């Protein structure tokens, strides 16, 4: 092998290493959705009519590496003021000091610390996210089943800006919490409103690539 | 009777909702790229169970008040 050949091989090897290192690096996905689709829906059973609503005031970031989905961590914040239902009186009760006390606790936070039992099929990873959920100032460790879908290069398509390069990360989760665990009307209205709150998270985060 | 019928009719025509009054209605919108759905709220009044109940209460009250304010017919004019 000539010296030039050796030099070319070494350069190519160095280049491929740096490219793969760049691809494998974790990306930070921003969950403040410009399209306003990100939402957390909640559902409580009640005798006459179940109480259902949603919150759309979502922010936060998630660190995701397509090469190592199990290493995903992040923090999702829901503004409690954005929680709403169809009935205005019910919404007033929900925001009041007796229920979520929106004035005193403006945020509900989930901090994902680690992912376990991660199974990746195609661009989708099913796993259990272990983390800390903070509601009304009470933090509890919980495990949430999540589905993470990685959509490379789809940011521009979603925002109708083909010139915008970047990836999307879609998070879906469905789980229940007990309202008494988070100090919400502990031991109250047991016959009128269910103890369990069913939560459904539908979130999309974006990682824009800097323009060349 | 008219009040009761009107309230039941209004409630039935509006979907006979077994729930409370709503001033906003949720309509689902789906994002094509991510497949995620969100509820968009639109201002619209949907009568709940309070409507026929209030109609019954109001109709019943009006009917009961007719007994209170009924003009008394003198006993000698009651029968001929």
The reported pLDDT for the residue numbered A185 is 87
Q: Is residue B49 part of a domain?
A: yes
Q: Is residue B8 part of a domain?
A: yes
Confidence band for A165, pLDDT divided at 50, 70 and 90: very high
pLDDT digits (tens, 9 = 90+) for A38-49: 999 999 988 877
Average pLDDT, stretch A35-58? 92
Average pLDDT, stretch A60-73? 94
CB nearest B39 (choices: A49, A54, A172): A54
Which chain B residue has its CA at the smallest distance from A154's CA? B33
In this complex, do B39 and A158 lie within 8 Å of one another by their Cβ atoms? no
pLDDT at A206 over 90: yes
- Report the range of poorest mean pLDDT among A15-19, A79-83, A106-110, B28-32: A15-19
CB nearest B37 (choices: A49, A86, A202): A202
pLDDT digits (tens, 9 = 90+) for A147-160: 999 999 999 999 99
Contact between residue A129 and residue A117 where contact means Cβ atoms under 8 Å apart? no
DSSP E strand stretches across chain B:
22-30, 37-46
Q: Is residue B30 part of a domain?
A: yes
Q: Name all domains of chain A by residue range, CATH numbers in brackets.
A: 25-208 (2.40.128.110)
Cβ-defined contacts of B4-11 (< 8 Å, 24+): B4/B52, B4/B55, B4/B56, B4/B59, B4/B60, B5/B55, B6/B55, B7/B51, B7/B52, B7/B54, B7/B55, B7/B56, B7/B58, B7/B59, B8/B52, B8/B55, B10/B47, B10/B51, B11/B47, B11/B48, B11/B49, B11/B51, B11/B52, B11/B55
Q: Is residue B71 part of a domain?
A: no
Strand partners of residue B40: B27
Q: Is A5 exposed, middle or buried (0-12, 13-18, 19+ CB in 10 A)?
A: exposed
Q: Is residue B76 part of a domain?
A: no
Q: Which of A43, A85, A87 to mutate to test the interface with B (most CBs of B within 10 A)?
A: A87
Between B65 and A72, the more confident residue is A72
The reported pLDDT for the residue numbered B79 is 52
Confidence band for B1, pLDDT divided at 50, 70 and 90: confident
* Residue B36, domain extent: 2-64
Tokens found for residue A78: 């829901």
pLDDT at B21 over 90: no
pTM of the model: 0.78
- Domains identified in chain B, total number: 1
């Amino acid at each position: 092998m000539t010296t030039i050949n050796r030099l070319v091989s070494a350069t190519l090897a160095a280049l491929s290493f740096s490219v793969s290192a760049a691809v494998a690096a974790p990306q930070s996905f921003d969950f403040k959705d410009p399209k306003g689709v990100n939402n957390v829906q909640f559902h409580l059973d009640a005798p006459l009519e179940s109480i259902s609503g949603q919150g759309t005031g979502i922010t936060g970031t998630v660190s995701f590496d397509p090469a190592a989905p199990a290493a995903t961590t992040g923090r999702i914040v829901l503004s409690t003021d954005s929680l709403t239902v169809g009935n205005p009186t019910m919404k007033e009760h929900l925001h009041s000091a007796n229920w979520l006390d929106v004035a005193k606790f403006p945020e509900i936070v989930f901090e994902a610390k680690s992912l376990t039992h991660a199974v990746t099929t195609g661009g989708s990873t099913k796993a259990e996210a272990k983390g800390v959920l903070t509601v009304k100032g009470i933090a509890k460790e919980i495990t949430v089943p999540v589905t993470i879908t990685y959509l490379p290069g789809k940011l521009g398509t979603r925002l109708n800006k083909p010139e915008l390069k970047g990836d999307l990360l879609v998070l879906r989760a469905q789980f229940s919490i007990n309202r008494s665990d988070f100090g919400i009307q502990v031991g109250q209205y047991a016959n009128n409103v269910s103890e369990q709150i069913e939560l459904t998270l539908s979130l999309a985060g974006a990682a824009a690539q800097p323009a060349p | 009777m008219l009040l009761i019928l009107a309230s039941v009719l209004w409630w039935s025509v509006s979907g006979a909702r077994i729930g409370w009054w709503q001033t906003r209605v949720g309509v689902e919108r789906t994002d094509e790229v991510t497949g995620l759905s969100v509820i968009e709220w639109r201002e619209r009044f949907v009568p709940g169970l309070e409507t026929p109940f209030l109609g019954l209460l109001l109709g019943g009250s009006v009917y009961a008040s007719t007994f209170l304010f009924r003009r008394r017919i003198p006993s000698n004019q009651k029968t001929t």
